[in-house]
Amino acid sequence: MLEDKSHSPKVYEISPTLKFLSSCLPIPGYEDFIGTYLFCGEKKALVDVGPKAAIPGLLLALSQVGVSPDEIDYIILSHIHIDHAGGVGTAVREMNNARVLVHSRGRAHLIDPTALWKSSQETLGKAALKYGSYDPVPGDRIILAEEGMKLDLGQGLILEIYLTPGHAAHHLIVFNRASGILLAGDSAGVYTNGFLRLTTPPQFRLDDYMASLDKMIALRPVKLGYAHFGCYDNAIERLHAIREKVFLWHKIAQSAVREGKTAEEIIQLIRAKDKTLDRLDTLDKDTYGREYLLLLNSVQGLMTAK
Ligand SMILES: [Zn+2]
């Protein structure tokens, strides 16, 4: 998927029943970074909606594919971080029939997002303000995700939900067994601008993350959909690749912490061992700024990993 700096939403056809919508966030460097998956059976389900700033673009993308907001039956949240779920309270006001499927740990935070908004600002600084704050979600619109639950969208389209802690304790993935498409949210890293990067923010838990990767590998997916950004073939190879990368980066970060190194110094140490990060030098200033911020965040997670 190529970087496109135009400011109109884009639609990618993944399969006859799945589209990937880029709301084209109006933030320099973030235009092609956050996407929403749309499953269409008799019922329709979105996977992630992006932050509040993405909702106008998401609504436009839906109108481009001929889907009205009231046709959305489910909004499945891979997790409640702001770049995936910040706009959900805003979205449910437009999508009158949508129910929000979220990990049980996320429910109270969606109803009262005060703490989520505070932690988003602490983690992301100015970027959180650009994303916009969370609107609350009414409790009666929320359904809780359970391990292995199935959502039947009709016309043979069945989505399976699996809990995948690691990136966050409240993370889940969506698997369509018939097509072999697995939507990994942030459980399998980020693949943008032609390179794979970790998503291991503070509160990252190594054992949980690896167990979640093993769970995804055991599903034998064919295609892997990243929230950031797009759906690709060779799912199993991709899951193994992120597994190795997490081990490598974690090892470097943990030994560097013992030597008193800073997160910035650890990024240099990782770059010396992982040449895929040379791609960073090819990015434009805004995209580099985004990637460096998130890289720093991931390294901080590895430094404090349990
Ligand atoms: Zn994310």
Burial class of residue 197 (count of CB atoms within 10 Å of its CB; 0-12, 13-18, 19+):
buried
Q: Residue 77 C-alpha to ligand 1 middle, in angstroms?
A: 11
Q: Residue 294 C-alpha to ligand 1 middle, in angstroms?
A: 9
Residue 7 has pLDDT above 70, yes or no: no
Judge whether 184 and 216 are in contact, CB under 8 Å.
yes
* 236 three-class SS: helix
Q: Which of 212, 203, 218, 143 is nearest to 184 (CA)?
A: 212
Q: Residue 290 C-alpha to ligand 1 middle, in angstroms?
A: 12
Dump pLDDT digits (tens) for 58-74: 999 999 999 999 999 99
Residue 8 has pLDDT above 90, yes or no: no
Average pLDDT for the chain:
94
Q: Report percent pLDDT > 90 for the chain.
A: 87
Residue 27 has pLDDT above 50, yes or no: yes
6 confidence band (pLDDT: 50, 70, 90): low
Question: What are the residue ranges of helices labelled H in the chain?
Answer: 55-64, 82-85, 88-94, 107-111, 114-124, 126-131, 206-218, 235-258, 263-273, 285-303
Residue with tokens 């895929």: 276
Q: For the chain, report the end-to-end CA distance as a whole number of angstroms.
A: 34
Q: Across residues 264-270, what is the average pLDDT? A: 96
Q: How many residues does the chain have?
A: 306
Q: Residue 259 C-alpha to ligand 1 middle, in angstroms?
A: 30
Residue 260 has pLDDT above 90, yes or no: yes
Q: Which of 118, 35, 115 is nearest to 83 (CA)?
A: 35
Q: Residue 245 C-alpha to ligand 1 middle, in angstroms?
A: 18
User: Cis bond leading into 33, ω under 30°?
Assistant: no
Query: Exposed e or buried b for every residue in 210-221, given b needs 16+ CB within 10 A?
Result: eebbebbbebeb
Q: For 135-194, give the DSSP string.
A: PP--GGGEEE--TT-EEE-STT-EEEEEE--SS-TT-EEEEETTTTEEEEETBTBEEETT
Q: Residue 189 C-alpha to ligand 1 middle, in angstroms?
A: 9
Sheet order of strands, 18-22 included: 10-15, 18-22, 35-40, 44-47, 72-76, 99-102, 142-144
CA 49, CA 75: separation in Å to the nearest integer? 8
Residue with tokens 């304790």: 169
26 confidence band (pLDDT: 50, 70, 90): confident
Q: Rounded to the nearest 5°, which phi and psi values hold at 78?
A: -60, -35
Q: Residue 85 C-alpha to ligand 1 middle, in angstroms?
A: 9
- Please tell me the pTM assigned to this model: 0.94
Q: Residue 83 C-alpha to ligand 1 middle, in angstroms?
A: 5
Q: Residue 2 C-alpha to ligand 1 middle, in angstroms?
A: 19
Question: What CATH topology corresponds to 10-235?
Answer: Metallo-beta-lactamase; Chain A (3.60.15)
Residue 218 has pLDDT above 80, yes or no: yes
Dump pLDDT digits (tens) for 148-192: 999 999 999 999 999 999 999 999 999 999 999 999 999 999 999
Q: Residue 87 C-alpha to ligand 1 middle, in angstroms?
A: 13
Q: Residue 196 C-alpha to ligand 1 middle, in angstroms?
A: 13
Q: Which of 25, 2, 17, 11 is nearest to 286 (CA)?
A: 25
Q: Residue 79 C-alpha to ligand 1 middle, in angstroms?
A: 9
Residue with tokens 């980020």: 190
